[in-house]
Amino acid sequence: MAPSYASSFCFVILLCSAAAEAIDGGFTVELIPRDSPKSPFYNPLETPFQRVGKAMRRSIARFAGLRSNAAGAPSADITNSGGEFLVNITIGTPPVQIVAIADTGSDLIWTQCKPCSSCFEQEAPLFDPSKSRTYAIVPCNSAKCQVYDQTSCSSRGSACRYQASYGDQSYTNGNIATDIIGLGSSSGTSIKFPGAVFGCGYDNAGTFDTHTSGIVGLGGGDSSLVSQIRRSSGGKFSYCLVPISSTSQSSSKLSFGANAQVEGGGTVSTPLIKKSQKTFYYLTLEGLSINGKKFEVSGSSGRGTDKGNIIIDSGTTLTYLPPDLYKRIEPAVSAAIHLPVAKDPEGFLKLCYKSSGEFKGAPNITVHFTGADVKLNWYNAFVNIEEDISCFGFVPSSFDLSIYGNVAQSNFLIGYDLTAAKLSFKPSDCTSH
């Protein structure tokens, strides 16, 4: 699942005044790391290193799906790879609790619905539209039917149908509908969004897990939560991700509107680049520095770097670099580390060393985006995959898609300002943010 971009559109959902006022003041919701004790996925018998290993495998699977979407393959804007962060939402009146994957790499908000012709197994009850007083099917002649680009109609006045397929062959099909969507804020109140567009899925299958019921898309497409509340939030949202290696019980935070302001000491900003694929958030990577030596992206010297050559994605664990850049930095990273060499048991990560806990002796690494030099901590670049093995969390991309993953983003307050078309980084302690 990946990021998105700012684009004004004529199908913005108008919120009632109470909801708009709440957003204007800003609000923050809890982002639950997939493997934390607060998550329904949590397995107390797993070691932290087993959880990291599973995250790596999800990252690999996700990368393939995102790549197919970026290339314009005939699939929807989402890929089912077991997203890294969960969010609790409610749908309907009375409100029904839904556990969903929060995904900056997809747009559509959807959940499984009754009566279901073919649904994957889930532990929570299915959402029953017939029991919600505020539920309404979107007809094909409504402008809201065009909010999501994978819709179809049997006739002008019939129900607006959607279909979304995934990189791993999972899929969801159903009706485009509207209802009240609620998000619980950190203040203890619930923020309500009347008339929000979402997908009510009646035919869903694939590798979905029983603990979740759907997805909350945070991408840049018109159907995403971010886009639907943009008029009231000012097009601003931010998150602060707790490091994957952290033993803290703290959850990550997702903020909107006034609460999403990222400023102050240490803040650096880079342009968000708009492309035809509106879901993803594109940045311009100019290069990396290893212990002060800069390695530029091919083409960045003299001819200029291609704009929007990397996407930032909260659901991908690793960072995938242009192959030529990775080929040049790998020996520089290796030469800077004086520890016994180890092997990744999964056989995927290339630079691994005997080390436990804090990775001492890690080189100083700075990621250079246009206008923003982001200095990484050791845990942004190295991950403990076994009790005594740490590996470099940057890998060469096997396709024409580069991704700045969530390990590199941890302990940074990252703000998306879609109106100003910029993304900001501020070093932070996300366990106390």
Q: Rounded to an integer, what distance in angstroms lies between the CA atom of residue 393 and that of residue 318?
A: 6
290: β partners: 293, 365
Could you give the CA distance from residue 103 to residue 406 in angstroms, rounded to a whole number?
12
Distance (Å, whole) CA 353 – CA 391:
6
Q: Is 344 part of the annotated catalytic residue set?
A: no
Residue 403 CA to residue 310 CA, distance in Å, equals: 5
Query: For residues 249 and 246, what is the distance between their CA atoms, to the nearest angstrom?
Result: 8
Q: Which of 77, 103, 107, 222 is catalytic?
A: 103
Two tokens at 321?
A: 């670099």
Name the residue with tokens 């097009």.
235
- Identify whether 306 is a catalytic site residue: no
Structure tokens at 179: 């209802």
176 phi and psi angles, rounded to 5 deg: -80, 130
Decide if 130 contacts 114 (C-beta within 8 A). yes
Of residues 224, 178, 171, the one with CA closest to residue 202: 171
- Strand locations in 185-251, DSSP E? 190-205, 214-217, 236-240
| Total residues found in the chain within this entry | 433
**To which H or E segment does residue 276 belong?**
none
Q: Which residues pair with 312 in a beta bridge?
A: 404
Q: Are the C-beta atoms of residues 132 and 91 closer than 8 Å to each other?
A: yes
End-to-end CA distance of the chain: 24
Return the closest-CA partner of residue 309 out of 337, 335, 287, 332. Answer: 287
Task: Out of 77, 222, 313, 417, pick the active-site residue.
Answer: 313
Interatomic CA distance for residues 76 and 204, integer angstroms: 14
Closest CA to 320 of 124, 34, 103, 62: 62
- Tell me the catalytic residues: 103, 313
